[in-house]
A and B are shown apart, each in its own frame.
Chain A
């Protein structure tokens, strides 16, 4: 009979035996790479669309567990970051990389009849990429297997099928022993004797992950307590009939006498009775009832001896004894009541420390509460909560003092022969969205509704119209800053020796200053958070006093600063690096700086936008506009200029960016307005991330006479000729032909001298269109700077103005 679920198929006993004894390929065959974001997405979608006929309470639990937000929260809380499974640099003095890795094969043994729990346990282990073999008891229903089959059918990640197996085995079965022998970790639930017997079957080196039975209690300090608080405590006792490990079995009362203890019991009993009435009668079997009776008989006998008291009303009991001891109760509305004092907390709890779970603490005020907390924490209690909350929980809450995902994983470390150029390794590129998803433009991006997940609001880039705002959750922000930090290292920042001054603009909702502060902090770099202040002298004084060698800022600001402080800085001679962002450094400006300060190192800190975050970075071998993609954060498509189709090879196209992990806004197939092309082939730096070459704003690259031309190219040529002023390109028709007019700006009446033939010759596509094919007219014009065409709100110069009629190529 095919009763086992084996990685996507149902198999019978003899096939299972084969897999566990002889045919072990399933262990060695490579599995689809584990992608946590895709798995989370898949589980979220699947659970919310699930139509299987299952118990409603469990279904609710399943949906909550598999909710994308909850899973991400849990993952990040327990393992530190959503990238925990990616190899990351941990040391800037050497090339050491670390990551969390799954243990491997984990066998789960759960108590019989824990419907659904076995499925959730396997999913939990799956979150770190483990392969789970779950032992179902022979009496358990098919629920877990049905869920698996349904999940595999609907899984969009492709990572799950090869990682789940559910077997119907007896505890003493030979096949179970075999599975245990093949496991790297064994997760076992149960009481002490069950755990001991399972552990005894394991080799000493197999990771044993026990989830033992636990005991919880309530503690009430001396003094009158309010009705509301006692009601809440009663709720904790009755809500799950004490069946949960976090339900209180005992209640400790801070008191000195039997009379006080009894008085409290008499006062509290009615609250329990009331809560029990609300909850409804219990349906106990003979065993459960007998367990209660056994303990009750013992207590009644002790009561006859004057050693204890026994209160019972409507199937609710309080068993009180004047001895400071922890006593488990027979559960099912049977509360053990004992005295305690601050002086004996440790003695009472010591021998129970491995079993302690929750203490529901009821005190008179905050100070008293804190002092009891300290005692309880020191005595080994891992969880303290307010009355009424004992059985609640939140995602990523440690269970029994541990994070499950930590226990299901290990940390691995890798040394690379070189690695100066990258901070993360071996992560498979993120999955790009399907082509069926629509492209987004700036408007689409801005018009999104606020999903409520935003923590940070930053002014979005864009030089036209009213300022727009981009939203980031803290997680978004930190993922992005980490990616940018990775890029900065490749670009050549050396946190172990560079001392940075951050001159980006800050405040006014600008992201620059703050982002780089965070980025530099992630790199443990030394930084002076100066901002783009006006007091240049002050800046210089600090640069010199604090031995700064690296400038961070926007090119126009830096240029102004350097011009102004040329003499002082040259005297200092200590500046060696410049990192810029937000604008381009023109080649003219670069050569000036090189000449005046001998600073050769002028690099883009990061290529990106406020909207989409960091997109690319430059390694030491990236020249011009070539960048590596921040592939751990973004996916990049380069699409044909008109159609939704990938470009061929290294053709120019639109850069389309998606950030799968972004949560405060959707960045999916976002056209950032830049053009570029792929740079194929491996990079000398060794980084595996794909490369692309930036060709300027969509507005900066234009088609004329069938070719692509770029504003930047003109800029470079002009700068080589010595012209570093403003200029713009106007495209129009002069009758029957396209015309490209290069308008050079000048001021103070000084008309520049420029060789137009040189320009034509240097730009291949221009020469072809103008000289060889005669399809384009070229003219050189001059204009007062003030007259040049500008963007109204920002005053920024328009680079390319296309006045041609429709039908242009």
Chain B
């Protein structure tokens, strides 16, 4: 498709960068392209977003000072939560093609705006990633089990949108939702899901399971508790999870344990069980390789920053997760500090065919339950405005 950024001339490097179809392989001269794209992106936001301009001035940041990739470290980043509390836009309202709220479980919802470019260029990347793993199979009919919200008219929840999108890589035989829409909100339909799985096993087609890990875990727990017999789904089946544990953190089991149970109970081989990481503020998709690691696609840089000083840390050290990518033109989120703590590791350590570096999430930053009896901001649900 001929996808264009808002200003194809000013943002030519961005287009070049994001037109590259090999998510895990850098082309020649990639670093310079990346640098140019970042500079274009910053210049774009400086021009179009007054708040970003103020922020850069406040931090005494001069775009001209960025001469090398290393200089990107000194670029002012914006904390992801800031997008929750105010609208930052670098495009006019008529250019907004999508307006999403994230399914925030701490009570605050992000307001993110996307122009066509900013939503479709990451989607393309996901296409290329699926292709990289050989999951685009236009000839193979697939049964889909979606652990996600059955769509209701006008739902702005970001994750629901993504999961429908995921059904385009293989033609749909059947689609079933695990979270059924009811008049009082979505309800997890355990028994409907069990029935669906049984039917899918019977039918024998590859099954693709997408959505929230928590509900998959509940399903498997039921198998264990009620000593149900395991299923043998088609070994070409695929599990691709995302969206976190959705308020069920206290019941979270480790990812490894989840994969183990999935393998045992549904019969899907471990290397076809994948988690995905993404967020409303940073849409570049991070997909687990067969060794269950998040390799960083070439379109973004990941830095880990010290919690106290924000200094960039080495491999193996825990800190704030900082994403840098020039794909986004709608809001100044090209250098965003997430509310997650993470660790980066060199790509070669993984052992799979991808050589880009990997990162893993260590937890949420600053959202522990307060030990004392003082109310803390983090625990308040709902807003008081």
**Cβ B371 vs Cβ A113 within 8 A:** yes
Near A by CB (< 8 A), chain B positions 24-65 give: 51, 54-55, 57-59
B85 interfacial contact with A, CB 8 Å: yes
Query: CA A329 – CA B363 in complex, angstroms?
Result: 21
**Cβ B380 vs Cβ A328 within 8 A:** yes
**Cβ B81 vs Cβ A298 within 8 A:** yes
Residue of B nearest to A114 (CB): B371
Residue of A nearest to B77 (CB): A297
Please, which residues of chain B bring their CB within 8 A of the CB of A242?
374
**Cβ B341 vs Cβ A305 within 8 A:** no
Residue of A nearest to B384 (CB): A351
B351 interfacial contact with A, CB 8 Å: no
Please, which residues of chain A bring their CB within 8 A of the CB of B365?
286-287, 290-291, 293-294
Q: What 0/1 pattern do residues 281 to 305 of A give for CB contact below 8 A with B?
A: 0000011111111110110110111
Q: Do A328 and B367 contact each other (CB < 8 Å), given the known contacts A294-B339, A304-B55, A304-B57?
A: no
Please, which residues of chain A bring their CB within 8 A of the CB of B79?
294, 297-298, 301
Please, which residues of chain B bring their CB within 8 A of the CB of A303?
58
Please, which residues of chain A bring their CB within 8 A of the CB of B380?
192, 328
B376: contacting residue among A189, A213, A216, CB under 8 A: A213
A211: contacting residue among B310, B373, B381, CB under 8 A: B373
**Cβ A192 vs Cβ B339 within 8 A:** no
CB distance from A387 to the nearest CB of B (A): 18
CB distance from A218 to the nearest CB of B (A): 14
B70 interfacial contact with A, CB 8 Å: no
CB distance from B231 to the nearest CB of A (A): 28
Please, which residues of chain A bring their CB within 8 A of the CB of B372?
243-245, 331
Q: What 0/1 pattern do residues 303 to 332 of B give for CB contact below 8 A with A?
A: 000011010000000101000000000000
A183 interfacial contact with B, CB 8 Å: no
**Cβ B373 vs Cβ A244 within 8 A:** yes
**Cβ A291 vs Cβ B54 within 8 A:** no
CB distance from A584 to the nearest CB of B (A): 62
CB distance from B359 to the nearest CB of A (A): 17
B379 interfacial contact with A, CB 8 Å: yes
**Cβ A297 vs Cβ B337 within 8 A:** yes
**Cβ A331 vs Cβ B366 within 8 A:** no
**Cβ B370 vs Cβ A286 within 8 A:** no
Please, which residues of chain B bring their CB within 8 A of the CB of A286?
307, 318, 341, 365
Please, which residues of chain A bring their CB within 8 A of the CB of B366?
287-294, 330
Near A by CB (< 8 A), chain B positions 340-365 give: 341, 363, 365
Q: How many interface contacts (CB-CB < 8 Å) are there between A and B?
A: 129
CB distance from A207 to the nearest CB of B (A): 21
Query: CA A303 – CA B376 in complex, angstroms?
Result: 22
**Cβ B373 vs Cβ A214 within 8 A:** yes
Residue of A nearest to B337 (CB): A297
B227 interfacial contact with A, CB 8 Å: no
**Cβ B59 vs Cβ A328 within 8 A:** no
**Cβ A330 vs Cβ B376 within 8 A:** yes
Query: CA A286 – CA B373 in complex, angstroms?
Result: 20
B374: contacting residue among A249, A289, A298, A300, CB under 8 A: A249
Query: CA A154 – CA B308 in complex, angstroms?
Result: 50
Q: Do A213 and B373 contact each other (CB < 8 Å), given the known contacts A286-B341, A290-B366?
A: yes
CB distance from A210 to the nearest CB of B (A): 11
Number of B residues near A (Cβ < 8 Å) is 39
**Cβ B318 vs Cβ A244 within 8 A:** no
Please, which residues of chain A bring their CB within 8 A of the CB of B376?
191, 213, 291, 328, 330-331
Q: Do A301 and B82 contact each other (CB < 8 Å), given the known contacts A113-B371, A286-B307, A290-B366?
A: yes
Residue of B nearest to A117 (CB): B373
**Cβ A290 vs Cβ B378 within 8 A:** no
**Cβ A301 vs Cβ B307 within 8 A:** no
A189: contacting residue among B54, B373, B375, B377, CB under 8 A: B373
A191: contacting residue among B308, B318, B375, CB under 8 A: B375
Near B by CB (< 8 A), chain A positions 137-175 give: 171-172
Please, which residues of chain A bring their CB within 8 A of the CB of B363?
287
A470 interfacial contact with B, CB 8 Å: no
Please, which residues of chain A bring their CB within 8 A of the CB of B320?
290, 293
CB distance from B55 to the nearest CB of A (A): 5
CB distance from B124 to the nearest CB of A (A): 31
A306 interfacial contact with B, CB 8 Å: yes
Q: Do A213 and B375 contact each other (CB < 8 Å), given the known contacts A286-B307, A289-B307?
A: yes
Near A by CB (< 8 A), chain B positions 80-112 give: 81-82, 85
B368 interfacial contact with A, CB 8 Å: yes
**Cβ B82 vs Cβ A298 within 8 A:** yes
A8 interfacial contact with B, CB 8 Å: no
A301: contacting residue among B78, B310, B341, B379, CB under 8 A: B78
Residue of A nearest to B247 (CB): A193
B369 interfacial contact with A, CB 8 Å: yes
Please, which residues of chain B bring their CB within 8 A of the CB of A249?
374-375
CB distance from A62 to the nearest CB of B (A): 19
B370: contacting residue among A191, A211, A306, CB under 8 A: A191
Query: CA A189 – CA B370 in complex, angstroms?
Result: 12
A473 interfacial contact with B, CB 8 Å: no
A586 interfacial contact with B, CB 8 Å: no
A479 interfacial contact with B, CB 8 Å: no
CB distance from B53 to the nearest CB of A (A): 9
Near B by CB (< 8 A), chain A positions 333-352 give: 351-352
**Cβ A287 vs Cβ B85 within 8 A:** no
Query: CA A214 – CA B55 in complex, angstroms?
Result: 35
Query: CA A244 – CA B373 in complex, angstroms?
Result: 6
**Most interface-central of B58, B250, B310, B376 (chain A CB within 10 A):** B376
**Cβ B379 vs Cβ A192 within 8 A:** yes
Please, which residues of chain B bring their CB within 8 A of the CB of A114?
371
**Cβ B369 vs Cβ A298 within 8 A:** no
A287: contacting residue among B81, B308, B367, B374, CB under 8 A: B367
Please, which residues of chain A bring their CB within 8 A of the CB of B85?
298
Near B by CB (< 8 A), chain A positions 213-234 give: 213-216
A111 interfacial contact with B, CB 8 Å: yes
Please, which residues of chain B bring their CB within 8 A of the CB of A244?
372-374
Please, which residues of chain B bring their CB within 8 A of the CB of A172?
250
CB distance from B180 to the nearest CB of A (A): 23
A601 interfacial contact with B, CB 8 Å: no
Query: CA A578 – CA B375 in complex, angstroms?
Result: 64
**Cβ B54 vs Cβ A295 within 8 A:** no
Q: What 0/1 pattern do residues 26 to 51 of A give for CB contact below 8 A with B?
A: 00000000000000000000000000
Please, which residues of chain B bring their CB within 8 A of the CB of A716?
none
Query: CA A328 – CA B378 in complex, angstroms?
Result: 9
A327 interfacial contact with B, CB 8 Å: yes
Please, which residues of chain B bring their CB within 8 A of the CB of A294?
79, 81, 339, 365-366
Please, which residues of chain B bring their CB within 8 A of the CB of A112?
371
Q: Do A301 and B308 contact each other (CB < 8 Å), given the known contacts A193-B379, A214-B375, A294-B81?
A: no
**Cβ A293 vs Cβ B370 within 8 A:** no
**Cβ A245 vs Cβ B379 within 8 A:** no
Query: CA A329 – CA B374 in complex, angstroms?
Result: 10
Query: CA A113 – CA B372 in complex, angstroms?
Result: 10
Query: CA A243 – CA B54 in complex, angstroms?
Result: 35
Query: CA A192 – CA B382 in complex, angstroms?
Result: 11
Please, which residues of chain B bring their CB within 8 A of the CB of A211?
373
Query: CA A534 – CA B76 in complex, angstroms?
Result: 96
B55: contacting residue among A295, A301, A352, CB under 8 A: A301
A268 interfacial contact with B, CB 8 Å: no
**Cβ A305 vs Cβ B51 within 8 A:** yes
Query: CA A591 – CA B158 in complex, angstroms?
Result: 101
B375: contacting residue among A111, A293, A300, A328, CB under 8 A: A328
Query: CA A291 – CA B308 in complex, angstroms?
Result: 11
Query: CA A779 – CA B369 in complex, angstroms?
Result: 93
Known: A171-B250, A193-B379, A247-B374. 9 other contacts (CB 8 A): A192-B380, A194-B369, A287-B366, A288-B368, A290-B320, A290-B366, A291-B378, A293-B308, A298-B81
Nearest first, the 9 closest Cβ-Cβ pairs linking A and B are A291-B366, A304-B58, A290-B366, A290-B365, A297-B79, A243-B372, A287-B368, A245-B373, A213-B375
Would you mind naming 6 contact pairs between A and B with Cβ atoms under 8 Å apart?
A: A243-B372, A286-B307, A289-B308, A292-B366, A330-B366, A331-B376
